[in-house]
Amino acid sequence: MCGLCLKPYDVLATNHSNPSFTALDTVTENSVQDALDRLGSDRTVLVIAHRLGTIREADNIIVLGDGVVAEQGTHDELMEIEGGKYAEMWNMQLHSARGNKKSTESLTALSS
């Protein structure tokens, strides 16, 4: 990731679903997220995430299902889709803090 900080790229891609990111404690994860938000303030950022909280503020969230785009929109737009995958995963993650359930769906967020 340090190489990303040294060169002025127009697009920044991060993988929040890899084990090194998901193993972070909450305080460290928030620090990394803040740094990535600053890095992405003037460029397009592509984020692959399983923790939906990390992409909640994205300009555009793309939900993939079976290798195709299943849903696309902002967090609020996706939460309004009745029976939607994103809303289902969001609610599952909200409740999984208590039950420790895990979703196998993947999400991609595109922010510019």
Phi, psi torsion values for 58, nearest 5 degrees: -65, 150
Confidence of residue 51 (pLDDT cuts 50, 70, 90): confident
At residue 30, does pLDDT exceed 80?
A: no
Q: Assess if residue 4 is contained within a domain.
A: no
Could you tell me the CATH number of the domain that includes residue 47? 3.40.50.300
Q: Assess if residue 90 is contained within a domain.
A: yes
Residue ranges making up the domain that contains 65: 11-111
Q: Is 10 left (phi over 0), alpha (psi -120 to 50) or beta?
A: alpha
Q: Assess if residue 104 is contained within a domain.
A: yes
Give the pLDDT of residue 95. Answer: 80
Q: Assess if residue 3 is contained within a domain.
A: no
CB contact at 8 A, 75 and 58: yes
Number of domains in the chain: 1
- Cα distances (Å, whole numbers) of residue 29 to 34, 64, 82: 9, 24, 31
Expressed in angstroms, the distance from the first to the final Cα of the chain is 19
What would the pLDDT profile of 72-111 be if each residue is shown by its tens digit? 999 999 999 999 999 999 998 888 755 554 444 555 555 5
Share of the chain above pLDDT 90, in %: 26
Give the pLDDT of residue 71. Answer: 96
Q: Assess if residue 5 is contained within a domain.
A: no
Range from 26-35, 66-75, 87-96 carrying the lowest mean pLDDT: 26-35
Give the global pTM.
0.67
Q: Assess if residue 1 is contained within a domain.
A: no
